Amino acid sequence: MSERKPSLSLLAFLSVAALGLLAAPAAAGPIVLDFEGLLSGEPILDFYDGGLGGFGSGPGPDYNVQFGAQSLVSIDADAGGAGNFANEPSPSSVAFFAQGPGVIMNVLPGFTTALSLYYAAANVGGSVTVWSGLDGTGIQLAALNLPVTGTTCGGDPAGLFNCWAHVAVNFSGIARSVNFSGSADQIAFDDISLEKLVPEPGTFALLGGGLAALLWLRRRS
């Protein structure tokens, strides 16, 4: 860098910095879904895609995460809801499903590296499967069994699903859906954490534009 043209280099730096800020996704991760802010029994739907839950709650944070129609929120009965649970990691709402194959989570355009969550399974265990396609399709990237956690951890003051286990799963590739499964109405999930969100395609274009601007300014200087 010559002393005669510091301002141009500074301009290039600021241009790229500004484009970088513009290009930054709402959250690159890790992000945590705590299911707070929805109503008792409400379908989660697009709440974590900057949209609304099935009863109109929201908009929630724009993580590009959507849930299947059978993925519901339960609020602890001790906090005014109908949930028979206690000691949930983030009070007082959790995710569950009353029918269907499980809590289905879609992530557009995807996430990488790892997934972690808390679950409570009083009597019947479950599983987590990570998929390359939406709605549990494509290649299965990872699977994790979720053993029964029991009912001996005490209420808050009440709640049968009171023992929560923290589990994590690592995988390679880009995941676009996860099925949090088990027997319907027999397993609850909370604080689902996604390690790293894939930026939206538009973000790459912006980043590319920023790099092109930097190269052009460097050549000129």
Sites of contact with Ca ion (CB under 5 A): 34-35, 76, 78, 86, 90-93, 156, 159, 190
Nearest residue to the partner Ca ion, using Cβ:
159
DSSP code per residue over the chain:
--TT-HHHHHHHHHHHHHHHHHHS-S--S-EEE--TTS-TT-B-TTTTBTS--TTS-----B-SEEE-TT-EEEEBGGGTS-B-B---SSTTEEEE-SSSS-EEEEEEEEEEEEEEEEEE-SSS-EEEEEESSGGG-S-EEEEEEE----S-S--SSS-SB---EEEEEE-SS-EEEEEEEESTTS-EEEEEEEEEEPPPHHHHHHHHHHHHHHHHHHHH-
Q: Which is nearer to Ca ion, 16 or 190 (CB)?
A: 190
Q: Which is nearer to Ca ion, 73 or 197 (CB)?
A: 73
Q: Which is nearer to Ca ion, 120 or 130 (CB)?
A: 120
> Min. distance of Cβ 139 from Ca ion in angstroms?
30
> Min. distance of Cβ 192 from Ca ion in angstroms?
10
Q: Which is nearer to Ca ion, 12 or 86 (CB)?
A: 86
> Min. distance of Cβ 153 from Ca ion in angstroms?
11
CA angle 121, 177, 98 (to 5 degrees): 40
Q: Which is nearer to Ca ion, 135 or 156 (CB)?
A: 156
> Min. distance of Cβ 57 from Ca ion in angstroms?
14
> Min. distance of Cβ 27 from Ca ion in angstroms?
18
